């Protein structure tokens, strides 16, 4: 009896070795493509993408230039709505860090280099190069790609995990040993990410945190911004103050009829998008390279030298004319008040634009519902990677680094189980 049992186990092991495991990846975006490539080619890998092409969003990142990571990705802050998520995400990013990412892409033939802000791009500055390299490698590895195939259900059955999909030809079921959900968040639905994929995991008992659009334009009180619509402050400093916190970002600030846009705005939104409802005070420094004292001296001198200049025109040649007139009017012609407004023009944040305008979703499936390998704690052999999880990063390549690090974590865990 003992020997029979041993023999049975031996046969089972041999069978497992001979039989390929089926791994289904839901979502052919950044994390899904990276994961597919990092899995052992000896297994049967099926990549399901609802859109007509793989990596559509990846090809549009970084204004089409593909800002794939950031040299500071291990050091800078990541965010999560569920309190411990960000800490775990950083551990994962340190384990599969930016150097590893560079080596990974180099192995696919893509060379990366950093700009002055530590942002990493393919040296050819084409995001499509990242997608193409991943796609070519997937084809070479013989990974089964199923386009225009939308996962609409996920369940555990007695025959293993079952993914229900919808295609042009109707509904179908795909059975799998492992399922990795890489279906993204709720932002930019034109790239296939409308938040519908959360339901796949909710049906298994997972929860979803509160969601917010991030890396997005900010709505503010519009008394001034509306009349300044279209004016771009190149290299201004935008400061946000909320609940005892302060954060400043330097860069373009673009005034719009709803509030502000531009890269400084996008960057600061990562810190405040989920706090706007509780009150966030903003201020714009139009001339960060000049101190208040310097400006005070310059304007005092200017008033002395040009006594006939109407006081509303005193800031002509110093800041944009329209802004200058509004500042002088608000300051009642008082120079020191005008300087104060040039250095910290106050605006109140009243909201953000919506998910269609945002680059990333704040919130998602809490990391606390996954183990250290990002496996669901509720259903064995279901893994999660990328933006669907409650992790978001700052502007500048941090979100694609998370897509990479989380996908690699999952790939190694599944590979280990397939051994």
Ligand X SMILES: Cc1cc2nc3c(=O)[nH]c(=O)nc-3n(C[C@H](O)[C@H](O)[C@H](O)COP(=O)(O)OP(=O)(O)OC[C@H]3O[C@@H](n4cnc5c(N)ncnc54)[C@H](O)[C@@H]3O)c2cc1C
Which residues of the chain form contacts with ligand X (CB under 6 A)? 26-32, 48-51, 56-58, 60-62, 67, 150-151, 182-184, 187-188, 191-193, 196-197, 359-360, 386-388, 397-400, 403
Nearest-CB residue to ligand X? 29
Instruction: Return the number of the residue (110 or 187) whose C-beta is nearest ligand X.
Output: 187
Burial, 185: exposed, middle or buried (Cβ in 10 Å; 0-12, 13-18, 19+)? buried
CB of 330 to ligand X, least distance (A): 36
- Measured from the CB atom, the residue of 115 and 221 that comes closer to ligand X is 115
| 149 neighbors 164 (Cβ within 8 angstroms) | no
Give yes or no for a contact between 202 and 338, defined as CB atoms under 8 angstroms apart: no
Cβ 63 to ligand X shortest distance, Å? 7
Instruction: Give the number of other Cβ atoms within 10 Å of residue 8's Cβ.
Output: 10
Question: Whole-number minimum distance, CB 180 to ligand X, in Å?
Answer: 10
Shortest distance (Å) from residue 392 CB to ligand X: 8
Closer CB to ligand X, 249 or 387, in the complex: 387
Nearer to ligand X, 287 or 403 (CB): 403
Pick the closer one to ligand X by CB: 30 or 46. 30
**Which 8-state DSSP code applies to residue 209?**
-
Nearer to ligand X, 98 or 284 (CB): 98
Listed residue (386, 290, 270, 280) closest to 339, CA to CA: 290
Which residues lie below 8 Å from residue 339, measured CB to CB, with a gap of 6+? 292, 295, 296, 299
Question: For ligand X, which is the closer residue by CB, 195 or 236?
Answer: 195
Contact 396, 267 (CB under 8 A): yes
Who contacts 416 (Cβ-Cβ below 8 Å, separation ≥6)?
Answer: none
**Nearest distance from residue 270's CB to ligand X, in Å?**
11
Q: Which helix (H) or strand (E) holds 382?
A: strand 382-384
Nearest to 196 by CA among 404, 366, 27, 369: 27
For residue 388, the minimal CB distance to ligand X (Å) is: 6
Minimum CB distance to ligand X, residue 30 (Å): 4
């Amino acid at each position: 009896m003992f020997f029979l049992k041993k023999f049975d186990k031996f046969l089972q092991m041999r069978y497992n070795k001979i039989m390929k495991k089926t791994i289904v990846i839901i979502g052919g975006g950044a994390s899904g493509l990276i994961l597919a490539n990092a899995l052992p080619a000896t297994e049967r890998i099926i990549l399901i993408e609802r859109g007509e092409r793989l990596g559509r969003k990846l090809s549009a990142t970084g204004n089409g230039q593909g800002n794939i990571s950031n040299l500071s990705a291990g050091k800078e802050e990541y965010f999560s709505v569920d309190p411990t998520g960000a800490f775990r995400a950083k551990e994962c990013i340190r384990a599969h860090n930016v150097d590893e990412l560079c080596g990974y892409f180099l192995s696919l033939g893509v060379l990366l280099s950093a700009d002055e802000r530590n942002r990493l791009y393919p040296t050819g500055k084409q995001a499509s190069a990242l997608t193409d390299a991943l796609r070519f490698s997937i084809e070479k590895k013989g990974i089964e790609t199923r386009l225009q195939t939308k996962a609409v259900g996920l369940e555990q059955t007695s025959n293993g995990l079952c993914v229900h999909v919808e295609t042009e030809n109707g509904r179908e079921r795909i059975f799998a040993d492992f399922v990795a959900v890489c279906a993204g968040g709720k932002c930019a639905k034109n790239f296939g990410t409308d938040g519908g994929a959360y339901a796949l995991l909710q049906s298994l008992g997972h929860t979803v945190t509160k969601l917010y659009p991030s890396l997005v334009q900010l709505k503010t009180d519009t008394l001034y911004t509306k009349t300044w619509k279209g004016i771009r402050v190149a290299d201004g400093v935008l400061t946000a103050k909320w609940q005892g916190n302060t954060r400043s970002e330097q860069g373009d600030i673009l005034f719009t009829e709803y509030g502000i846009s531009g890269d400084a705005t996008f960057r600061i939104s990562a810190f405040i998008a989920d706090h706007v409802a509780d009150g966030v005070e903003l201020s714009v420094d139009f001339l960060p390279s000049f101190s208040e004292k310097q400006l005070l001296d310059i304007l005092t001198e200017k008033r002395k030298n040009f006594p006939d200049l109407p006081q509303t025109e005193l800031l002509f040649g110093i800041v944009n004319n329209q802004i200058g007139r509004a500042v002088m009017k608000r300051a009642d012609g008082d120079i020191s008040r005008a300087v104060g407004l040039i250095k910290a023009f106050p605006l109140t944040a009243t909201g953000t634009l919506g998910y269609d305008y945002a680059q990333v979703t704040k919130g998602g499936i809490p990391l606390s519902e996954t183990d250290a390998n990002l496996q669901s704690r509720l259903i064995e052999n279901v893994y999660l990677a990328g933006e669907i999880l409650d992790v978001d990063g700052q502007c500048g390549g941090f979100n694609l680094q998370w897509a990479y690090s989380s996908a690699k974590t999952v790939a190694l865990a599944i590979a280990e189980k397939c051994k």
